[in-house]
Structure formats: C-alpha cells, structure tokens
Amino acid sequence: MINRKQEWGTKMSNNIFEKEKRKLTPETGFNLIGIDYFADNGTQLYLIKHFQMYQDALNAKKDRKNQDEYFILYKDQNNEFCCR
C-alpha cells in the first residue's frame, strides 16, 4: 500500500517528467529521447537525435540495446503532445 508521502512524490515526479517531455517535444518532426534514471528530477530526459520522419526515429530506437530506456516525442495533427 502506498502512503501519502509516496503518492505525493510519485505525482511530483510525474509532473516533472511531463514538463521535461513537453520541453523536449519538437514543433515538427520527431525527437528520440533517452532516460537517465540516475539523474536528478528535471534532468532525467535528454535528446538523442531529431528526425524528420517517424520511421527513421523508430528505427533508431530499435537499434538501441535497451529500447525501454528510449521513446519518441512529437506533436500530432491536432498539435497534441505524443509519446511512443
């Protein structure tokens, strides 16, 4: 069972993570993002490379050893933030 302090910490971490994702989402194209689990909150995400085509970003992610430590950020046709 999660206590209130753990729950609050999880919510804070998720909020910080969301702010990082929004900051790293490109206006156009696709960003391959890495996750540094040992970095401080607010600096855990980092840009690996920007791609113009989703397939290129996906292939770059698939080439990584630990694919779970990477994701692709972009804006959809409705200008909504997306993460895959």
pLDDT given at position 68: 86
> Computed from CA positions of residues 10, 11, 17, 20, in that sequence, does the dihedral angle turn out positive or negative?
negative
pLDDT given at position 75: 95
pLDDT given at position 7: 37
Q: What domain count does the chain have?
A: 1
Domain encompassing residue 37:
4-83
pLDDT given at position 18: 87
DSSP three-state, residue 27 = coil
Per-residue pLDDT tens listing for the chain (84 residues): 443 333 333 443 567 788 899 999 999 999 999 999 888 888 899 999 999 999 999 999 999 998 889 999 999 999 898 988
